[in-house]
Amino acid sequence: MNVVVDTVNDTDERFNTCLSLLIDHPVLFVGVTCSKEELIRREQLRGDREIGLAISQYDQVYGLNEYDIELNTETLKPNECANLILNFIRSNREYSAFKKLTKTSVSVS
């Protein structure tokens, strides 16, 4: 089963729900990052977000520090990000980051 879960882990409840549902499956845990300045710029360009929301959630969203792969979308183009993910999958490296996280050790709120 190939599923992409694209979410913001901004609360313990949201993360722990994902953890409960997916812990028994192979999960490639990808961290997607950029600077605070870039978040502010993107938020203003979109025009469909409450200004200040990105910064108010920054520490919660980036509170996890265990990923199989991290992608900085400020320095990488979308196709480069996709290729890095695909290369990771093709490398047959173990997806281990998600399994290292537990409900009790995660605090993103």
| pTM tops 0.85 | no
User: Per-residue pLDDT tens for 21-79?
Assistant: 998 899 999 999 999 999 999 999 998 888 998 888 888 778 788 899 999 999 999 99
User: Using alpha carbons only, what angle is made at residue 49 by residues 46 and 53, rounded to the nearest 5 degrees?
Assistant: 125
pLDDT at position 93 is 94
Interhelix angle 53-61/36-46, nearest 10 degrees: 140
- Domain borders along the chain are 30-100
Q: Which two tokens stand for residue 1?
A: 């089963």
Distance between CA atoms of residues 12 and 67, nearest Å: 17
pLDDT at position 102 is 72
Shortest CA distance to 35 belongs to which of 54, 19, 9? 54
